[in-house]
Every structure is written in C-alpha cells, then in structure tokens.
C-alpha cells in the first residue's frame, strides 16, 4: 500500500436495530477519524440516515462519502432481535468481502452485530469472523484478539457453550492461538511481546488436584512455544494473572474461553475496547461491545470503542506501528 495515501476503510452500520447506525454516524462526524482513513459506506442509505438522525448528525456528513448499496428489504424494529436485521448484517459482510476482492477497500470496520439475529437469519457458522473467512475462501488460522489500550488478549475457544470448552482445549489450539497473538503483536510493537497463558481450572489446576488440563495439555503447549523462542509463561491462574497484566508485566494474554478474558478486558478498558479478527486476509476490527438494545434509538451510545476500532484498522491497513 502507498503510505502517502489514506487507507480506504469499509464501514458497516452493523445490526440496524441496535446502536450501530448511531455510532457509525458519530464516527463520520469525527474529524480526527477522517484524518486517519477514507470511509466507504457499505449498506443501506436509509439505515445510515436513521443513525444520523438519532445521533443528531447532519445528513450531509453521510452524503459526502461513497456508498456501496446493500438494500434493507424490510423495516426492522428498534431494539429487537429480528431475522431481517440479521440477514441485512450478513449481506453487508458479504458485500464488504466483494469490495475487498475488487480492491475497493483496504480494511473493514463494522459496528456491533447481533449473533442471535444472524443465526435466525440462517448463519450456520460459529460467528461473523468465521462467516467472513468463509466468504473470503480462507481456511487458515483466524482468531479474535481484543485490544484494551496496551493489553491484548486472545482465546483458544470462543463462541461455544461453556460445557463444551474442556473438550475443545487442545495443545494445537493453544499453540495456534498464542502464535497468532505473538505474530500480530510483534509486528505492531516492533519487539517480541511478553505473553502469558491462563489455566482452565481454578488455581490453574493446583498441580492436577482440580483438573489435569494444565499438566497434560496447556503446560506442554507453553513449553513448545518457549522452545521456539517465544517470550511466554504459564499456565497461571486466570483470577490473578490479570492483576500482573494490568501492572504491565505482560503485553498479551491467551485465555481458554470467552468470558475468562472478556470480563477482565472489558473491566480494564470497556470504553476503548476493540476486537480484531486476526489472521484474515482482510484487516477487520469492530468495537468490543454488543448492539446495546437497552439504549438503541435514544442517542446515548458512546462512539469511543468504534472510534478506537477505526483508528486501529487504519493503522493496520497502512502498515504503521500500533502504539495505542
């Protein structure tokens, strides 16, 4: 990419029933965000207009940018899960992939989606990241990485029932997740990141007294990574390692399941949290919060995480060092 030019970043309004259209409009009204990248709107003009009205943003702020149209086929209720909203979200993701393949965008930022809505609209895959991978024809390793200021986290399992987690923890899964976090953070920090791996069980298994995954699976994966030169330690108890991470002892944390890392990350930086779909050919970021149906349509949504997602996507797309 020519670093003298701004990257072109596709912007999706997310689920039209949530706060996505509002925060997308607020982003388009933010001069600092527009200094970083040129927006390409992907979606329905009416959805973006509705978001502008809720946000109190001039329609001219929306109209100045190119729109790649994706029609919303029917009206959707505000603050409710709907098949129409989920289907529209999926259609905009597909359109974004087409725009990327055509060389029309360099990166993608999408406002919050609703997984239940996408599922009832026909999504058969685990989540939107895997849906994007499928649309891209990508079969390699991809994983969600969450960035809250300088601390990044990833996870071995993601959007699966908690009862399934233990059976899904494998040495290969831990290895791949840690490798991807290491590689992405190395590029963005210009040094080897200090990584820590969480245990699965209370007290990281207490030497096998409270579960054997740490001894039989997690520990060997960490040793293999360390032998390859990674600056990595673990497994450590999940309830205390984030205290050390907050103190600055680690740059990145590999957790075993969704809430193990998400709760801590959101407590540390919910107003700035960003999710990266790491590993995909298309640089993709999104705010690390949901559709917030409880405040949708009220003009109360905080655009901070969306602005942070935009800034990170712009820097990643431009090949610049992330210094958050």
Cis before 282? omega within 30: no
Closest residue by Cα to residue 217 from 163, 262, 178: 178
DSSP string, 202-223: GGGGGGGTT-SHIIIIIHHHHH
Q: What is the pLDDT of residue 150?
A: 86
Instruction: Enter the tokens of residue 174.
Output: 């831990």
For 12-33, write each residue's pLDDT tens digit: 999 999 999 999 999 999 999 9
Report H helices in the chain: 20-28, 31-36, 45-55, 59-63, 83-101, 115-120, 128-136, 165-168, 171-189, 213, 219-227, 238-247, 258-269, 304-317
For 59-91, write each residue's pLDDT tens digit: 999 999 999 999 999 999 999 999 999 999 999
In this prediction the pTM is: 0.89
Query: How do the domains of the chain map onto residue ranges?
Result: 1-138+280-324, 140-271
User: What CATH code would you report for 140-271?
Assistant: 3.40.718.10
* Tokens 């009220």 belong to residue: 298
Q: Which residues pair with 233 in a beta bridge?
A: 196
Q: Domain 1-138+280-324: what homologous superfamily?
A: Isopropylmalate Dehydrogenase (3.40.718.10)
Strand bridging mode 143-148 / 151-155: antiparallel
Tell me the C-alpha distance between 159 and 150, whole Å.
24
For 133-170, write each residue's pLDDT tens digit: 999 999 999 999 999 878 999 999 998 999 999 999 99
Tell me the C-alpha distance between 316 and 5, whole Å.
14
* Tokens 């086929």 belong to residue: 73
Which stretch of 26-30, 200-204, 207-211, 263-267 has the lowest confidence by average pLDDT?
263-267
Two domains, one topology: 1-138+280-324 and 140-271 = yes
* Contact call for residues 20 and 14 (beta carbons, < 8 A): yes
Average pLDDT over residues 98-123: 98
* Contact call for residues 229 and 267 (beta carbons, < 8 A): no
Q: What is the pLDDT of residue 2?
A: 47
Tell me the C-alpha distance between 126 and 57, whole Å.
35
Q: Could you tell me the strand order of the sheet in which 107-110 lies?
A: 67-69, 38-43, 8-12, 107-110, 283-287, 274-278, 143-148, 151-155, 252-255, 195-198, 232-236
Q: Name which residue leads in pLDDT, 255 or 262.
A: 255
pLDDT for residue 323 is more than 60: no
Q: Which residues pair with 12 in a beta bridge?
A: 110
Query: Which DSSP state fits 317?
Result: H
Instruction: Enter the tokens of residue 46.
Output: 């009416």
* Contact call for residues 119 and 86 (beta carbons, < 8 A): yes
Q: What is the pLDDT of residue 4?
A: 53
């Amino acid at each position: 990419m020519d670093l003298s030019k701004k990257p072109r970043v596709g912007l999706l309004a997310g689920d039209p029933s949530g706060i996505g259209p509002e925060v997308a409009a607020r982003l388009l009204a933010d001069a600092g965000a527009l200094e970083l990248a040129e927006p390409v709107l992907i979606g329905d003009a009416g959805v973006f207009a509705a978001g502008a009205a809720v946000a109190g943003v001039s329609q001219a702020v929306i109209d100045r940018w190119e729109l790649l149209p994706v029609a919303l086929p029917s009206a959707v209720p505000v603050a409710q899960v709907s098949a129409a909203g989920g289907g529209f979200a999926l259609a905009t993701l597909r359109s974004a992939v087409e725009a990327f393949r055509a060389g029309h965008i360099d990166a993608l930022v999408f406002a919050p989606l609703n997984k239940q809505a996408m599922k009832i609209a026909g999504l058969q895959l685990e989540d939107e990241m895997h849906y994007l991978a499928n649309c891209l024809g990508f079969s390699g390793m991809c994983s969600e990485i969450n960035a809250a200021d300088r601390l990044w986290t990833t996870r071995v399992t993601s959007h699966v029932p908690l009862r399934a987690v233990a059976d899904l923890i494998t040495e290969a899964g831990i290895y791949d997740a840690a490798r991807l976090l290491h590689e992405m953070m190395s590029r963005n920090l210009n040094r080897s990141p200090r990584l820590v791996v969480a245990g699965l069980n209370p007290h990281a298994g207490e030497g096998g007294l409270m579960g054997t995954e740490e001894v039989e699976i997690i520990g060997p994966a960490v040793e293999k990574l360390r032998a390859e030169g990674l600056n990595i330690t673990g497994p450590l108890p999940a309830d205390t390692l984030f205290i050390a991470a907050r103190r600055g002892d680690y740059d990145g944390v590999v957790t075993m399941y969704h809430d193990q890392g998400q709760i801590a990350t959101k407590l540390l930086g919910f107003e700035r949290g960003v999710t990266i779909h790491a590993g995909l050919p298309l640089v993709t970021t999104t705010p690390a919060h949901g559709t917030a149906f409880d405040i949708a349509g009220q003009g109360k949504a905080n655009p901070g995480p969306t602005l942070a997602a935009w800034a990170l996507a712009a820097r990643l797309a431009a090949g610049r060092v992330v210094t958050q």
